[in-house]
Amino acid sequence: MNHVPPAGSPTGRPPAGLRPAELCIVIPVLNEEANVAPLVERLDRALVGIGWEAIFVDDDSTDATRAAVAAIGAHDPRVRLLHRIGRRGLSSAFIEGAQASLAPCIAAIDGDLQHDETVLPRMFAALREGGYELAVGSRYIAGGGVGTWDRKRAGMSGLATRLSRIVLRAPVSDPMSGFFMLRRDTFERAVRGLSALGFKILLDILASLPAPPALIELPYEFRTRTAGESKLDAGVLRDYLLLVVDKLVGRWVPVRFLLFAAVGALGIAAHLVVLKLCLAALALDFATAQAIATGCAIVGNFVLNNVFTFREARLQGWGFVRGLLTFAAICSVGAMGNVGVAAFLFSPAVNSAWWLAGLAGAVMSLVWNYAVSSVITWRRN
């Protein structure tokens, strides 16, 4: 006799009144308390007839953003919260939110009300009925616009858009858009190649797909923020450039390692400048001058790596002091290894060229410093 599982069991039908979500809207947020309730209300009005769910991915807000989401989710099961601690970034937030859902369609929308939620039904129809894999909200086609942006911001966006064409696999007018929808199978084809750096997840997806997707662009007018503060800063530009570089060379060399190496090159230059000043201007003996120059280079490298290379795990307060001490210790071990490797290769037993021995020692030291400081100095909580 066949066994029929009861309704609501893992292999049965869902309880009456419930149906699986057709659309998951991922909303990365950071200190957007005042915008949570208005956004949910707007989604509810715009998505009539569509089974949707909203996942707010909160990067450990310091205001009451999570409480605002929880207050709505307490009586509306479509609204969910994913609280991340020790991780930051819109791209990684979208990835985690998408993976927390089983909906066949996934949308990205900002939590600041600047995207036009009324375009979502047209995106959904394009994916479910139009045969498209990806629908992009565009500010740069007829009917779209950037709202009240000033000339400087519009110019920077245009420059970033042109730069993105280096890595794009599909022609799109607004690859910097954070407002789009894609099918889950399209997301799954891209997810293992995503860099998850910074804020430009659409560019990351387009550059990671093995083949250009069937996409459509739909116009929308970018709105002006009415509550909360913008998250745009110099770090956004840094993350964007890292994303482009990662898409170019990341399959061979980690982009963070390249940034660490660039900081190291600046440290060598700073070391030589300080050494020259100590010898020429202060008339110090070489050993003292070398020690001062080495100390300055280590401190400078630590500060730059803390600000740029490991920005997401930036150390502050006593953590900064602890990090500096561990970084100095790690670099000291690396320096001893550098000298040891170079001396061995230059010895009569091996007889390598002086430049090859020196380069090998420097590379060994660089790899050691990066690998160990990543784990110890800038370890994630």
pLDDT in tens, 251-274: 777 888 888 888 888 888 887 788
Q: Report the distance separating Cα 11 and Cα 14, nearest Å.
A: 9
Q: What is the pTM of this model?
A: 0.74
Of the ranges 131-135, 223-227, 286-290, the best mean pLDDT one? 131-135
24 versus 282: the higher-pLDDT residue is 24
pLDDT in tens, 288-340: 877 788 788 888 889 998 888 887 778 888 989 999 999 989 988 887 876 77
Using a 10 angstrom Cβ sphere, with 0-12 exposed, 13-18 middle and 19 or more buried, the burial of residue 218 is buried
Largest CA distance in the chain: 97
Least confident span in 45-59, 95-109, 249-263? 249-263
**pLDDT value at 359 more than 80:** no
**pLDDT value at 70 more than 90:** yes
Q: Report the distance separating Cα 1 and Cα 236, nearest Å.
A: 62
pLDDT of residue 140: 85
Least confident span in 33-42, 45-54, 170-179, 340-349? 340-349
pLDDT of residue 8: 47
Band the pLDDT of 1: cuts 50, 70, 90: very low
Using a 10 angstrom Cβ sphere, with 0-12 exposed, 13-18 middle and 19 or more buried, the burial of residue 22 is middle
Least confident span in 11-15, 196-200, 208-212, 337-341? 11-15
pLDDT of residue 187: 96
Least confident span in 73-87, 109-123, 133-147? 133-147
- The answer to whether 205 touches 193, Cβ cutoff 8 Å, is no
Using a 10 angstrom Cβ sphere, with 0-12 exposed, 13-18 middle and 19 or more buried, the burial of residue 168 is middle
**pLDDT value at 232 more than 60:** no
Helices (H) and strands (E) in the chain, counts: 12, 7
**pLDDT value at 155 more than 80:** no
Q: Report the distance separating Cα 305 and Cα 283, nearest Å.
A: 31
**pLDDT value at 152 more than 70:** no
Band the pLDDT of 381: cuts 50, 70, 90: very low
Using a 10 angstrom Cβ sphere, with 0-12 exposed, 13-18 middle and 19 or more buried, the burial of residue 104 is middle
pLDDT of residue 257: 84
Taking each helix axis from N to C terminus, what angle separates 201-208 and 234-249, rounded to the nearest 10 degrees? 0
**pLDDT value at 197 more than 90:** no
